Amino acid sequence: MEGFNVDKNLITRIETNSRYVSDFEIKAFSEFFGVSYSYLLDGIPTKEDIKKYPDL
């Protein structure tokens, strides 16, 4: 993810709700992982997500 300093601690803080994630970061994560915003925010895959990753 160009322009982001992503390390294990950053991911841990996001996963434990200890760090706010801004809208542009969500967009970058969405593009990096190739999934929709809704999957990242709500855990609900779109039809396109399921086409790419049938195991979702």
Residue 30 is predicted with a pLDDT of 94
Residue 56 is predicted with a pLDDT of 86
Residue 18 is predicted with a pLDDT of 96
- Answer whether residue 34 shows pLDDT above 90: yes
Average pLDDT, the chain: 90
Burial of 16 (0-12, 13-18, 19+ CB in 10 A): exposed
- Answer whether residue 48 shows pLDDT above 90: yes
- The residue-averaged pLDDT of 36-53 equals 95
Hey, what are 54's tokens?
A: 């049938």
- Can you give the pTM of this predicted structure? 0.74
